[in-house]
Amino acid sequence: MINVILLGPANAGKGTQAKRLTHELGIPQISTGDILRQAVKDETTLGKQAGPLMAAGQLVPDPLVIAIVKARILQPDCQKGFILDGFPRTIPQAEALERSLAESGMALTGVISLEVPEALLLERAAGRRSCPKDGSVYHVSQNPPKQPGICDLCGTPLIQREDDQEERVQARMLEYREKTEPLKAWYAERGLLREVEGVGAPDEVYGRIKQALGA
Ligand code: AMP
């Protein structure tokens, strides 16, 4: 069983790397950002609460995201493990996760912290384009779709996520520094933290992650 957390600021590459791990290990990617975006699209109660905060680059309250993840990791497809992408983002979320896993007799394999300089995070955000239908992610110069502005997989016109606009990205960076970065020390104390350089081609970063996981 491999239970991994991908930690890192917005645009560090968590989603891209989580998808590769999922593909290779056959265990699900649990992205709280994707789950919340779907809830916003479906206009559920959760979506209505989360939407304005997400658009402003702020965190959604802990109890809401904790409830999502607690239910999700108990699903049968998580029995062989899971990749958490974008959760936990605060110490209370990490504590809640620790309790939930202990109650179910599970434990974390490791916490991968993707390290990327802030200037590069901003550059990535400016060029990132997403498919609103299937969630595929591209970059205008680093990872362009075959036809500019169109999703390779489903032909849907690509968009720039509202929260990838520069001032929102700055807000998300601040949230990360204040609320999420302290998790590194928290997991280091537990012997779980693996810092991985997130700069370079996705393949190179993936190689480093596998090495850090001892795979
Ligand atoms: P992401 O796609 O992971 O960058 O998440 C997009 C947005 O969803 C974040 O900026 C937050 O507003 C919200 N979000 C996702 N995961 C969490 C979480 N674990 N805690 C609080 N808010 C979250």
Model pLDDT for residues 62-117, shown as the tens digit of each residue: 999 999 999 999 999 999 999 999 999 999 999 999 999 999 999 999 999 999 99
> What whole-number percentage of the chain has pLDDT above 70?
100
Separation of alpha carbons 183 and 90, rounded Å: 7
Instruction: Calculate how far, in angstroms, residue 60's C-alpha sits from the geometric centre of ligand 1.
Output: 7
Predicted TM-score of the model (pTM): 0.89
How far from each other are the two terminal CA atoms of the chain, in whole angstroms?
Answer: 13
Residue 128 catalytic? yes
pLDDT of residue 215: 62
Nearest C-alpha neighbor of 132 from the set 109, 105, 159, 112: 159
Catalytic-labelled residue, pool 172, 179, 194, 208: 172
Catalytic-labelled residue, pool 14, 20, 179, 194: 14
Does the pLDDT at position 135 exceed 90? no
Mean pLDDT of 19-37: 95
Banded pLDDT at 167 (limits 50, 70, 90): confident
Mean pLDDT of 144-154: 96
Which tokens hold the place of 6?
């991908």
Q: Is the CB of residue 22 less than 8 Å from the CB of residue 211?
A: no
Q: Which amino acid is at 143?
A: N
Mean pLDDT of 188-215: 94
Nearest C-alpha neighbor of 53 from the set 69, 33, 68, 67: 33
Mean pLDDT of 185-210: 96
Instruction: Calculate how far, in angstroms, residue 93's C-alpha sits from the geometric centre of ligand 1.
Output: 12
Atom of ligand 1 nearest to the CA of 88: 19
Is the minimum distance from the CB of 13 to ligand 1 under 6 angstroms? no
Q: What are phi and psi of 162, to 5 degrees?
A: -55, -40
Q: Is the CB of residue 50 less than 8 Å from the CB of residue 58?
A: no
Instruction: Calculate how far, in angstroms, residue 21's C-alpha sits from the geometric centre of ligand 1.
Output: 20
Catalytic-labelled residue, pool 19, 20, 128, 168: 128
Separation of alpha carbons 183 and 106, rounded Å: 20
